[in-house]
Amino acid sequence: MATAVPIEVRNLTMAYGEYVVQHDISFTVNRGEIFIIMGGNGCGKSTLMRSLIGLQRPAKGTVLYDGQDFWHVEAAEHERLKRRLGVMFQGGAMWSSLTLAENVALPLGEYTNLSPHLINEIVSFKLALVGLAGFEDFYPAELSGGMRKRAGLARAMALDPEILIIDEPSSGLDPLTARHLDHLILELRQNFGTTIIIITHELASILGIGDNSIFLDVQTRTMIATGNPKQALRSGDPRVRHFLTRGEA
């Protein structure tokens, strides 16, 4: 039976050799929550993401998915836990030589025994879900930046993940396109109950859709728990408030 807390990170330290990127990172993500991991350039956001999705073993600490220790289970169970995660990498990370349909079909072909006909139906549904119906045969280079991001989101949702981890969804997009993508993320949470972690430094997304958050401080190399970003904007740690009000006169 699933627990109330699908993700728990305890005392995580991330390092490259002797260089510690971040230490003593601890947080929980509740089911159906949009959780923001924020901070400036070089603070370790992407390194933390790599530890959450199985690309980089932390130097110390624990990542738990529904109480299971992600980095200390048997290899088969580790792979099973990874399949519960949908990951949207920055820029979409689409294969340029494949059409959108072929890109979205990749995880379905690798991890399921579904027939090609059923895979095609699922692919069309996922692309329609992100507003890309009719673009199945387009290549990534033929799309705008916002469309590539949405295609990346469709691929991340291909296996109906319980947890969606998104790296810098709004980076490089104009404000209107970024806002449309934020609304799409909110719709996915509302319609499917997906638990979502977003790694970002974009203020509009942080304040617009975040339920809970942590701030990775580049100077102390550890986190500041901030709670709801809107609340942090008013009464949070001064370093977090400074980050959330940057650009203001």
Q: Are residues 18 and 76 in the same domain?
A: yes
Total-model pTM: 0.91
Number of domains, the chain: 2
Q: Are residues 43 and 76 in the same domain?
A: yes
Is residue 18 situated within a structural domain? yes
Q: How much is the average pLDDT of 15-38?
A: 95
Q: Which of 66, 37, 31 is nearest to 189 (CA)?
A: 31
Phi first, then psi, for residue 17 (nearest 5°) are 65, -125
Q: Are residues 212 and 201 in the same domain?
A: yes
Residue 236's domain comprises 1-84+161-176+191-249
Taking 90 as the threshold, does the pLDDT of residue 4 lie above it? no
Is residue 202 situated within a structural domain? yes
Q: Are residues 19 and 141 in the same domain?
A: no
Phi first, then psi, for residue 185 (nearest 5°) are -65, -40
Q: Are residues 206 and 247 in the same domain?
A: yes
Over pLDDT 90: what percentage of the chain?
A: 66
Gap between the Cα atoms of 139 and 156, Å rounded: 17
CATH value at residue 14: 3.40.50.300
Write down the mean pLDDT value for the chain: 90
Q: Which of 177, 182, 188 is nearest to 207 (CA)?
A: 182
Q: Are residues 41 and 126 in the same domain?
A: no
pLDDT of residue 5: 67
Gap between the Cα atoms of 72 and 108, Å rounded: 26
Is residue 182 situated within a structural domain? no
**Cα–Cα distances in Å, from 51 out to 55, 82, 84, 180?**
6, 12, 15, 29
* Residue for token pair 């319609």: 191
Place 2 in a pLDDT band, splitting at 50, 70 and 90: very low
What is the side-by-side strand order in the sheet with 68-69?
19-29, 7-16, 60-65, 68-69
Gap between the Cα atoms of 14 and 23, Å rounded: 6
pLDDT of residue 248: 46
Is residue 183 situated within a structural domain? no
Gap between the Cα atoms of 244 and 237, Å rounded: 11
Q: Are residues 60 and 167 in the same domain?
A: yes
Gap between the Cα atoms of 59 and 17, Å rounded: 9
Tens-digit pLDDT profile for residues 128-165: 988 899 999 999 999 988 889 889 999 999 999 999 99
Is residue 184 situated within a structural domain? no
